[in-house]
Structure 1
Amino acid sequence: MTKLETEMLKGTLEGIILASLAGRPAYGYEITVRLREQGFSDIAEGTVYALLLRMEKRGLVDVQKVPSEKGPPRKVHSLNDEGREYLEEFWRTWSFLTERLEQLREGGR
């Protein structure tokens, strides 16, 4: 991944994780695997865990501890109403930005 791609991804990764959780609840490693399957191959697990913790503190996700066959219980994250609202705002903002960028790409029309 280029430096530019990494920098652009940093600004959108929270929304990307929330979008992943919109489909179904998941624990950190599972989210990382999903994102890698979607082509985000350079995303580090630690980055996903840090963002999940931040989203939990901001009240965007609910967390349920689920027993694990291997080791301690897993923290399964699910999108709550506040997270859904934030995700809607993320998509609106994304649409606005992509439309404006496309206009600039086409010469400002």
Structure 2
Amino acid sequence: MTNKKKNQNFDITGERAAAGSTVAFPTGKVLFLSPLPFPTGQPPLDFNGSILEKNETYLDLGTTNSGKIFPAQVMITNIMLVILFFFVFTPFIAGTTAWGNPYDVIWIIDTA
């Protein structure tokens, strides 16, 4: 005896679902958040840009990384420059200015 599952063709455009209802299909579930809105004649508004894509079948809500990449690159560059300055340039400058006078060099300024 074999247990065969029927291949369900899932179409969410064919029927109007009530808010809060779920429909299962082979790879997951669909949760209907609300029914379709009433037409008001006014253009839709999205003040904070949370709607990424909208078509007749679904509404994609979320945020993107658009506009967040450049500030992160600037922050990482600044941190790397500070590290480079303190661990590379500072010892180089300190070594080339002969702190501790390793060669017994004496700079005498004649004021007479």
Same fold, judged at TM 0.5 (above): no
Higher relative contact order at CA 8 Å, sep ≥6: structure 1 or structure 2?
A: 1
When normalised by structure 2's length, the TM-score is 0.24
Q: Give the structure with the larger helix fraction.
A: 1
